[in-house]
Amino acid sequence: MTTAIRIEVLPARMGDCLLVECPREQGRPWRMLVDGGPPDTWPLLLARLQRLPADDRHLDVVVVTHIDSDHIGGMIPFLDSEFADEVGDFWFNGRTHLPGDPIRSVSQGESLVAALIDQPSARTRPWNLAFGGGPIDTGEEAGFLDLAPVDGGPRVTVLSPTTKRLTALAAAWYETVEAAKRGPGEGTPDVLEPLDDLAAVAAQESPRDASVPNGSSIALLLEHRGASVVLGADAFGTVLGAGLAGVAAARGLDTLPVDAFKLPHHGSKSNVIDAMLRVAPAQHYLVSSNGDIFHHPDDAALARVVTTRPGATLWFNYRTARTERWTDPGLSGRYGYDTRLPDDPDAGCVLELPAVP
């Protein structure tokens, strides 16, 4: 099998830390790192980066999807590591990129590090070069950004955030940064409900995500050699669904089938909604969470996946009591889905999508 896209979901507790590779016919693979998980993910991420070939540790893109402690905590030490010197472009909407704020260049004094931790820094990094140094903004709902083709690499389409969500972030920027510094706080004991009737579980009424930082998430569609994956970050399901519908319409399609879908917000029922799932049906659905603090993935979210897309495979980067319930042969046989869980708690999960001849 010739691999088109390799997606590695590192174990980042309740957060996200993904390493994506797209092999090229000639030369080194195209690589993207998406988020750094909470602070204690850094040693694991560092060890993973150290396993890259000594003569090829280049990262074409590093994406900081949004300001939240479970996404930026491990990214802060990364930015001060030798690996940050190997990055071609950082994608991140800092304060200078938000509506109502004058856009200043990084060379004028605000670095990516300063934007992340709200501290002065003399170091600068390549920042949003693919966007002319400006904001990563899809405009109106159902808008999207098709980026310039990468030589031998993937086609990248930005699905989120919209101008509306960035405007909301601008109004709450300082509160958002302070909340990220504090971290998520303490969790409560997990309560596991029965999974007998997945149609009823899927139909549970769920409040929509109202988190301002989540709404500002950078979500992407990657396509390479006939394979495709949606990287949903913590984006709103309404925004993701509208963006995917916009891409489908622009291509003259009713839906936009993809091979894999990294579910938004760690499989939260507030973000994984029917309209989003139906516009971009996938074969593989990835969940990044150990259930810590917020008890993701939600049963209702996964029930919506398997009842909407029979034959799909659920990929978990942690083996926990919450995720192991989905491996029950009676349940998976009745609803026609499959599961993949890691045996090594430090390995996360790896999905390799084959190239289409």
Number of residues written out for the chain: 357
For residue 102, the model assigns a pLDDT of: 54
For residue 107, the model assigns a pLDDT of: 40
Mean pLDDT, contiguous 10-residue spans, the chain (357 residues): 96 97 94 97 97 96 96 93 95 90 46 63 79 95 93 96 96 88 83 93 95 97 98 98 98 98 98 98 98 95 96 97 97 97 91 95
Q: Report d(CA 7, CA 32) in Å as an integer.
A: 10
Q: Report d(CA 236, CA 198) in Å as an integer.
A: 23
Q: Determine phi and psi for 356, rounding to 5 degrees.
A: -95, 120
For residue 188, the model assigns a pLDDT of: 83
Q: Report d(CA 53, CA 55) in Å as an integer.
A: 5
For residue 265, the model assigns a pLDDT of: 98
Tokens read off for 187: 């969790």
For residue 183, the model assigns a pLDDT of: 85
For residue 186, the model assigns a pLDDT of: 78
Cβ neighbour number for residue 119 with a 10 Å cutoff: 10
Which residues face 315 on adjacent strands? 286, 340
* Domains with residue ranges and CATH for the chain: 3-354 (3.60.15)
Whether a cis peptide bond, with omega within 30° of 0, leads into 194 is no
Q: Report d(CA 37, CA 288) in Å as an integer.
A: 10
Instruction: Let me know: does 217 contact 230? Beta carbons within 8 Å.
Output: no
The H or E element spanning position 76 is helix 75-79
Instruction: Let me know: does 185 contact 241? Beta carbons within 8 Å.
Output: no
For residue 108, the model assigns a pLDDT of: 37
For residue 122, the model assigns a pLDDT of: 47
Burial class (CB in 10 A: 0-12, 13-18, 19+), 329: exposed
For residue 109, the model assigns a pLDDT of: 38
